[in-house]
Every structure is written in C-alpha cells, then in structure tokens.
Amino acid sequence: MPLVTTKEMFKKAYEGGYAIGAFNVNNMEIIQGITEAAKEVNAPLILQVSAGARRYANHTYLMKLVEAAEIETKLPICLHLDHGDSFEICKACIDGGFTSVMIDGSHLPFEENIKLTKQVVDYAHAHGVVVEGELGRLAGVEDDVKVSEEESSYTKPEEVEEFVARTGVDSLAIAIGTSHGAYKFKGEPKLRFDILEEVARRLPGFPIVLHGASSVIPELVEKINKYGGNMPGARGVPEEMLRKAARSAVCKINIDSDLRLAMTATIREYLAQHPDHFDPRQYLKPAREAIKELVKHKIVHVLGCDGKA
Ligand code: G3H
Ligand code: 13P
Ligand code: ZN
C-alpha cells in the first residue's frame, strides 16, 4: 500500500470516537519503534516530520525510512509535515512525496493566515495532498520557535467557520491550553474543553487536531532525573484528558516529547548500568523497544485506534 492521506483515517476516527496518533520522527530507531507498535495492535499511523527533523535527518533519508516501514508493516501510514511555516517548505514536502502538510500560520494576523493557508491548500489539493491549518497559538518550545505564555492564545471559536470555508483546509489545529515540550503546566493541568466543544459545534464532522499532547510520563522523568538528568517541574497532559479529547471531534493527537523522554530515559539508564559498553546498538535497541512499548500504550489506552488499520 502506498503512503495514504488522512482523509479516510479521519472520517473513520470522527465517526468511531477515537483519534489517530501523530508521532514525530527523525531517525531509524524511532520510526521502527513506532511502526512495530502500530503493526502489533493494527493501528493506522501518522508519522510527522518537523522542519528541524527534516534538516537533521535529510528529506530523502526520512522518506526512504518511512517507505521501508510501510513495506514492512503494510499499514496505512500518512507522512505529514509538522508546523510548516512557509509555502516553500510545504511545496518541497508535497513535491517530495509527503501525503499531508501542516501550514502553521497561527502567528500571523487572521487575514494573512488565511492567505498563506489557502495558497498551500491550492497547491496541495492539486497534488492529492491534504492540509492541516492552525488557529490560536500554543505556548512552548520547538526547534525553530519559542512561544512564551504571554504570546500564546486560545483559538477563537467565532473564527473557525470562516477560516475553514475560505482556506479549504482538511483539518484544523486549535489551541485549548496544551503547549509544546516537557513543561506544560505550572499549576494544575487545565484544558479549555468548552472551546473544543464550541469549535466542534460550529464545524460538524470536521477533524480537529490537538498539538502539545504528550503526558510527560512521570516515571520517565523520574528515570531521567535518577540517572543524571535534571528536569524538575516537567509536566504534561493527564491521560484522562487526552482520552476525553480522543472521543470528541479531535481526530489527530500529536506526540513528540514523550518519545524523546522514553528514548533518553532508556539510554541514560542503560549507560549508567553498563559503563563499559560503547556499541550504539547496545543502547539503541532498548531505546527502540521503549518507544515501541510507549506507542502501544498510547494507541490502546489513550487514542483508542487499535484494530482500526
Ligand atoms: O511541535 C513540535 C515538535 O515537537 C517538533 O519539535 O521542531 O524540535 O523538531 P522540533
Ligand atoms: P509534545 O511536545 O507535547 O509532544 O507536542 C508535539 C507536537 O505538538 C508536535 O507538533
Ligand atoms: Zn505541534
């Protein structure tokens, strides 16, 4: 099966009350861990690549690794550009075989966001590729952007119908209080489900995307801190909130930080326990296994998309 778009996946997810996991990838072990997990529980997958990941690993290497995963697993896999910030990067990914792109104009004024998003949609749709847009702005850190809490803003539900109608986007990322990275909440975790419900009411049947959805699993942070790391105050979105989102209009849930934590915690532990080992395969193998277990857990216990491939 060639790489697929999210069209069919989102339709089924919306109707079935579950969500598809969109996992960030940047090397072979991460791609293998995620796709082997999805294979075992027969789940559809979105593998997503940020601009930083594409610079790190190279477009062609990532493309070929994902194609290899598709051949090995025969799962429906969508390859998605995460947080594209210009027409040019979206075009390069569309021309280079991605089946979905995000154009993130969330930092732009409304009219400019519409103009840029529509330009990408016109090009993408002419090439059979789907597009995710964004309204509202998440706080947090990504490679290329750092958004402070003051700069972040919730999605305004009254803008969503016009944005979707004028751009033609296939899905919409909204900001309801999650943020990128491992430090999501200073106090109690709080998400604006009222905004999500109002957006869903205004866009019946339309797939919504939730970014910043790592749980920052406490045991992984503890392990990192135990073996020489220093991540005090790391905190993510409780799983119960994600399960609630997955049952709603949210069809795509983005997870990156938890993968990073799983890999780093495992490698720190391994090297602390085997100070004389220096073959990368020795510590990357358990790291890949940790990613696999984490992704299986997310699919079965959080997203609910097991058995839906
Ligand atoms: O939302 C951002 C993802 O976690 C990707 O992060 O830009 O550091 O690759 P990155
Ligand atoms: P996390 O940092 O919570 O994993 O979010 C990832 C994300 O939204 C990628 O676009
Ligand atoms: Zn994101």
pLDDT digits (tens, 9 = 90+) for 230-244: 999 999 999 999 999
Closest by alpha carbon to 22, among 249, 230, 303?
303
Question: Does residue 291 contact residue 285 with C-beta atoms inside 8 Å?
Answer: no
Ligand 2 pocket check for 212: Cβ under 6 Å: yes
Strand 77-84 and strand 45-50: pairing? parallel
Residue 91: inside a domain: yes
How confident is the prediction for the chain on average, in pLDDT?
97
Residue 223: inside a domain: yes
Torsion of CA 78, 83, 88, 90, to 10 degrees: 20
Does residue 179 come out as left (phi exceeding 0), alpha (psi in the -120 to 50 range) or beta?
beta
Average pLDDT over residues 290-307: 98
Check whether 142 has a pLDDT greater than 70.
no
Residue 2: inside a domain: no
Distance 103 CA to ligand 1 centre (A): 14
pLDDT digits (tens, 9 = 90+) for 9-29: 999 999 999 999 999 999 999
Check whether 149 has a pLDDT greater than 80.
no
> Considering 82, 104, 170, 256, which one is annotated as catalytic?
82
Residue 308: inside a domain: no
Q: What is the DSSP string of 68-122?
A: HHHHHH---EEEEEEEE-SHHHHHHHHHTT-SEEEE--TTS-HHHHHHHHHHHHH
Q: What confidence tier does 58 reach under pLDDT thresholds 50, 70, 90?
A: very high
Q: What confidence tier does 90 reach under pLDDT thresholds 50, 70, 90?
A: very high
Average pLDDT over residues 92-102: 98
With 0-12 / 13-18 / 19 or more C-beta atoms within 10 angstroms meaning exposed / middle / buried, residue 77 is: buried
Look up the domain containing 109 and give its range.
7-303
Q: Is 82 a catalytic residue?
A: yes
How far apart (Å, rounded) are the C-alpha atoms in residues 30 and 33?
Answer: 5
Residue 309: inside a domain: no
- Which CATH number fits the domain that encloses residue 247? 3.20.20.70
How far apart (Å, rounded) are the C-alpha atoms in residues 84 and 94?
Answer: 11
Give the count of domains, the chain. Answer: 1
Check whether 261 has a pLDDT greater than 90.
yes
Task: Give the pLDDT score at 279.
Answer: 98
Residue 290: inside a domain: yes
Residue 186: inside a domain: yes
- Closest atom of ligand 2 relative to the 82 alpha carbon: 10
- Residue nearest to ligand 2 atom 1, measured at CA: 212
Task: Give the pLDDT score at 1.
Answer: 77
Task: Give the pLDDT score at 145.
Answer: 66
